[in-house]
Chains A and B, each alone.
Chain A
Amino acid sequence: MAHLPPPTALVTENWDEQTFRVHREAYRSQALFDAERDRVWARNWLYLGHETEIPNPHDFTVRTLAGRPLIFVRDGEGEIHAFLNSCPHRGTVVCRENQGNAKHFACFYHAWTFRSDGAVSSIPGADAYHRDEAFRASMALRSVARLEMHEGYVFVAFTPDVPPLLEHLGDAADYLTMIEQQHAGGMRTLPGTQLYSVRGNWKLAVENAMDGYHFAPTHNTFVGYLRESGFAVTDDDQYAYTLQNGHLLLVLTGHGGRISMLWEPRFGEDERVRTAAHRAEMVQRLGAERAHHVADESHILYVWPNLLLFDIEGLSIRQLEPVSPGVTDVRAWQLVPREEDPDARALRMRTVVSFVGPGGLATPDDIEAYEAVQRGIEATAGGGEIDVSDMSRGMADEIKGVQGRSIDEGAMRGFWRHWVDAVEPGRWSVTGPRPQSFVTGRDVR
């Protein structure tokens, strides 16, 4: 149902009353979805994929990002490209395979062909064109405006006027580096992508990932499973950070086990020995303090606007693709050490898939939660003052300057401040003196 957004504030932040409210039109309005497409997705760095998805010359995969079909390809020289998957001739989708290895992409419509570096390799009957060489040169596959990579994570932008990628990533960049540093040989993605779709707004998926408050009630059955395996689940020592440029971070030090880094009984004796050896190697390589940050803490990192990294028991990359206000496509990859003992790998896959992913023991309840939110927010449509969601939890601590906990809603507030600034900057109301504590990032370098 299309309700026009009300002329009121979309985000209301009141420090006298210690309330933070988000207007529910933000989750259901087509007009706001269109504004997001223009103001966020069309002019920001977006996560495209990991370079290890296309390890060999001429490997390619196709992917739709912000509604635009793309070809993500490595050319014969090893260079990575992202082309708009649209024939420069008349617009046909050039590559209609999902993935593979190809020196050429052939458009079936009039049989123009392109090399994996985008250049035209043949145009049937090219002599019919005025100055056919110049014409051919002008008809290469169209690239995205910008493409840069950090630690193997490939980002693209559809407009050229974005800052350098590292500037955009800010403090988030180091968390990607910390993942790469977990193993001396680095990390790679595995094939077998979890592709699924949820009936909920993309922002609900971000909120859910940053919401430690829901863990115990929503994941009751998973917590029960962990407890039975001797894992003490606790909310202690878990903190939330708002990084610059809309990125968010949960640091979960009270959350135990991490494959090959932090042992716990359910991982078994062999893994205890492997973990100890690996930890000693990490201290050698990184120093004790850095090794501590890399290995002892679990992180959930959100990189504005479409990347979520679950660096928890194992490692999952999750990419969000908004389809409509109420539907989001999700793609998830497992990230693993390039070299890994087969027993450790078996433990990793079993552990990570059992929790994260649409067939796991926990993620289906998350999906149920945000799909239920999406259905429920229709109830208050047009309801004026009651048509808002509350995200006030933890504001009192923020005033005191206490670091926000993961079971508070501080990371979500950081998200919505960034969102409203990017999408509808005028429609934000702040009442009372705002404490500065929430803008702090986190420095572990």
Chain B
Amino acid sequence: MSAVLDTVKRSDVEDWLYAEADILDAWDYDAWLALFEPGARFEVPTTDFRGWSPLGSGSFVTDDWDLIKARVKRLKSRKAHAENPHSRTHRLVSNVRLHAITDPAAPLRVGPVSTDVAVTARDFGDLSHCLRVTASFVVHRARDGRFDSYVGRYDHVLAPADDGFRFRLRRSILGHEVLTAGARLSFIL
């Protein structure tokens, strides 16, 4: 058993994910950015995702650290027209599970993985002190007189920190077949 799973409790991770959900629902994007390690990535694969690497496939979001910062800066602007006024969102997080990262060559993905290049732990540097966290999410969004829901699974890589955790990889994998009408990802999924 990996050392990190001896010291980290699921309830700690759950509390941390719930706090993140509150931060996002409150549109406190500076606080959200502080949850990332410098150099982290944020990914939302397309709805037909089969474990492809973001270099070998299209994506909805494949942000490196510069782009995460640019995204936050944009969302804080009144000129981010797609989110002005802001959508009202309400997030539910559940089915939280912790996984040790033991094999650096193993694909970082739950479920079946394509034979195509999958992202492996190795792509994210030394992960010996990190853990993978999978969870389910539902994000409800009210906007323009409509109410949409987004369902999916988180597959994150977290590094423990003094005051909780930091994202090294934050990945949201949609459970939808397509992004339904009005469902552009103009907010953080």
B9 interface residue per 8 A CB criterion: no
The residue that A197 contacts in the complex, of B56, B146, B180, with Cβ under 8 A, is B180
Is A367 part of the contact surface with B, judged by Cβ < 8 Å? yes
Q: Does B92 contact A (CB under 8 A)?
A: no
B67 contacts A332, CB within 8 Å?
no
User: Are A345 and B61 also in contact (CB < 8 A) when A195-B177, A363-B184 are?
Assistant: no
B3 in the interface (beta carbon within 8 A): no
Given the interface pairs A225-B73, A349-B54, the reply to whether A192 lies near B181 with Cβ below 8 Å is no
Secondary structure call for the B interface: loop
Report the count of interface residues on A (CB-CB < 8 A): 43
User: Who on chain A is nearest to B58 by CB?
Assistant: A192
Instruction: Indicate whether A371 reaches chain B with its CB closer than 8 angstroms.
Output: yes
Tell me whether A198 and B70 are in contact (CB under 8 A): no
Cβ of A284 within 8 Å of any chain B Cβ, yes or no, is no
**A-B pairs with CB below 8 Å: how many?**
136
Instruction: Say if the beta carbon of A222 comes within 8 Å of chain B.
Output: yes
Residues in B28-64 with C-beta less than 8 Å from chain A: 44-50, 52, 54-64
Q: Tell me how many residues of B have a C-beta within 8 Å of chain A.
A: 44
Task: Please state if A197 and B181 are interface contacts (CB–CB under 8 Å).
Answer: yes
User: Which residues of B66-83 are within 8 A (CB) of A?
Assistant: 67, 70-71, 73-74, 77, 79-83
Q: Per-residue CB proximity of A163-193 to B under 8 Å, as 1/0?
A: 0000000000000000000000000001111
Given contacts A199-B181, A350-B62, A354-B63, contact A193 B48 (CB under 8 A): yes
- A218 & B67 in contact (Cβ 8 Å cutoff): no
Q: Which residues of B contact A220 (CB under 8 A)?
A: 77, 79
**Residue-by-residue, is A305-344 near B (CB-CB < 8 Å gives 1, otherwise 0)?**
0000000000000000000000101001110000000100
**B178 lies within 8 A of chain A by Cβ:** yes
Which A343-391 residues have a C-beta within 8 angstroms of B?
345-346, 349-350, 353-354, 357-361, 363-365, 367-369, 371, 375
**Which of A199, A221, A364 has most B Cβ within 10 Å?**
A221
A98, B176: Cα distance in complex, Å? 13
Most chain A CB within a 10 A radius of its CB, from B47, B83, B182: B182
Which of the residues B58, B178, B186 comes within 8 Å of A353, measured between beta carbons? B58
B77-101 CB contact bits vs A (8 Å, 1 = yes)? 1011111000000000000000000
* Residue in B44, B56, B74 whose CB lies within 8 Å of A191: B56
Is B74 a contact partner of A221 (Cβ separation < 8 A)? yes
With known contacts A350-B64, A350-B67, A192–B182 Cβ distance under 8 A: no
Q: Annotate A213-228 by CB proximity to B: 1 below 8 A, 0 otherwise.
A: 0000010111011000
The answer to the question of A194 belonging to the interface, with a C-beta cut-off of 8 Å to chain B, is yes
Given contacts A191-B50, A195-B47, contact A357 B60 (CB under 8 A): yes
Q: Is A108 an interface residue (CB 8 A)?
A: no
Check A191 against B58 for contact (C-beta < 8 Å): yes
Docked complex Cα distance between A224 and B50 (Å): 34
Which chain A residues in 97-140 approach chain B with CB under 8 Å? 98-99
Q: Given A195-B48, A350-B67, A354-B67, do A367 and B82 touch, yes or no (CB 8 Å)?
A: yes
Chain A residue at minimum C-beta to C-beta distance from B189: A359
Residues of B within 8 A of A375 (CB): 144
User: Using Cβ atoms and an 8 Å threshold, which residues of chain A touch B64?
Assistant: 350
A196 at the A/B interface (Cβ < 8 Å)?
A: yes
When distances are taken between beta carbons in the complex, the residues of chain A under 8 Å from B74 are 221-222, 224-225, 361
B144 pairs with A353, CB closer than 8 A: no
10 contacts between A and B (CB under 8 A): A191-B56, A192-B57, A193-B58, A195-B46, A329-B178, A333-B58, A353-B60, A357-B59, A359-B185, A364-B184
Besides A191-B50, A192-B46, 9 more A-B contacts (Cβ < 8 Å) are A192-B58, A224-B77, A353-B59, A354-B62, A365-B186, A367-B186, A368-B81, A368-B184, A371-B144
Query: Which 9 A-B residue pairs are closest in the complex by CB-CB distance?
Result: A192-B57, A359-B60, A192-B58, A364-B186, A364-B82, A359-B185, A196-B179, A220-B79, A195-B178
- Measured CB to CB, the residues of B under 8 A from A are 44-50, 52, 54-64, 67, 70-71, 73-74, 77, 79-83, 116, 144, 146, 177-186, 189
